[in-house]
């Protein structure tokens, strides 16, 4: 079961979660999601006009088997987030929710205190809660303690593409919690996703790095391969880092070779020239 991602009662074979925002068109969204191999995509409910005839076009066009992860994006308080999550459960018939509460519109950093408050309520109401949070071991352990199905610490500010700014902290979080850790926000390239997976992260969520790429479909494919390679690398176990060089060839049982001096080399060279000339 090492290749199965478990989020509450839900199971996924892909460890790449995808977003649906910022794509140039609906068709490019669908094509990129298909190429990514992702089985779970986020949808910001507040930006999905379900009250309009074309409001559910995205939901109807999603690849077969794709599950929806409603996002409480836009919420700034626990009260707002809980209300959005309840609406999402009714509208989309899912217990999954990505809990996102932002502290301010400049940094787009998560409001950890409000996130924890909302998580307690939503877990009590039977939601499978996946909270977006800071790369802070303390808040991650608190979210685990209240019953969240996973934690989603940021790698860097949302949409920045800066990659893993603090891999040491992410590695520490992975060691301290038992629930899945999904790196969310700031991923800029497949190399970032691979690094996160090699650290032992259970999955990554990528939106802007795919949607805003020159070729979203190609980039989605690259992310799929990077996540798979990173996971396989983590499971296979990398060699330890060493300060000094270590010979790759064994030193035991080596035969003793006589190193010729300059005179021997010259004589051997002359013999070789004579043999070539005579032939």
Smallest CA-to-CA distance from 36 within 57, 11, 63, 59 is with 63
Rounded Cα–Cα distance for residues 101 and 108 (Å): 9
- The single-letter DSSP state of residue 177 is -
Residue 129 pairs in a beta bridge with 97
The DSSP bridge partners found for residue 130 are 98
Alpha helices in the chain (DSSP H): 26-36, 57-61, 78-92, 112-124, 137-145, 167-176, 190-198, 208-211, 216-236, 262-278
The owner of tokens 């839900």 is 10
Contacts (Cβ under 8 Å, ≥6 apart) of 258: none
SS3 content of the chain, % helix, strand, coil (to 5): 40, 15, 40
Catalytic, 98? Answer: yes
Q: Which of 60, 67, 79, 98 is catalytic?
A: 98
Q: Which two tokens stand for residue 120?
A: 């307690």
52 CB-near residues (< 8 Å, 6+ apart)? none
Residues with catalytic function: 98
């Amino acid at each position: 079961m090492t290749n199965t991602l478990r989020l509450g009662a839900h199971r996924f074979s892909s460890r790449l979660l995808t977003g649906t925002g910022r794509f140039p068109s609906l068709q490019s969204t669908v094509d990129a999601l298909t190429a990514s191999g992702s089985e779970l995509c986020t949808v910001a409910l507040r930006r999905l006009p379900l009250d309009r005839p074309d409001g559910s076009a995205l939901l109807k066009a999603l690849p077969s088997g794709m599950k929806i992860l409603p996002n409480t994006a836009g919420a700034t308080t626990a009260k707002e987030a809980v209300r959005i999550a309840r609406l999402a459960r009714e509208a989309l018939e899912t217990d999954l929710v990505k809990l996102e509460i932002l502290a301010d519109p400049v940094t787009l950093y998560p409001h950890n205190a409000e996130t924890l408050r909302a998580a307690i309520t939503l877990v009590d109401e039977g939601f499978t809660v996946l909270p977006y949070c800071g790369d802070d071991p303390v808040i991650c352990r608190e979210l685990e303690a209240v019953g969240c199905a996973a934690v989603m610490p940021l790698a860097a500010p949302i949409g920045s593409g800066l990659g893993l700014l603090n891999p040491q902290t992410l590695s520490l979080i992975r060691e301290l919690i038992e629930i899945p850790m999904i790196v969310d926000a700031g991923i800029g390239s497949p190399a970032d996703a691979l690094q996160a997976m090699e650290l032992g992260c259970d999955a990554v969520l990528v939106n802007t790095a795919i949607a805003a790429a020159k070729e979203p479909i190609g980039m989605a494919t690259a992310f799929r391969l990077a996540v798979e390679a990173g996971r396989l690398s983590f499971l296979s176990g990398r060699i330890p880092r060493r300060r000094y060089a270590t010979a790759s060839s064994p030193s035991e049982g080596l035969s003793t070779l006589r190193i010729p001096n300059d005179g021997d080399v010259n004589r051997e060279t002359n013999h070789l020239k004579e043999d070539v000339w005579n032939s």
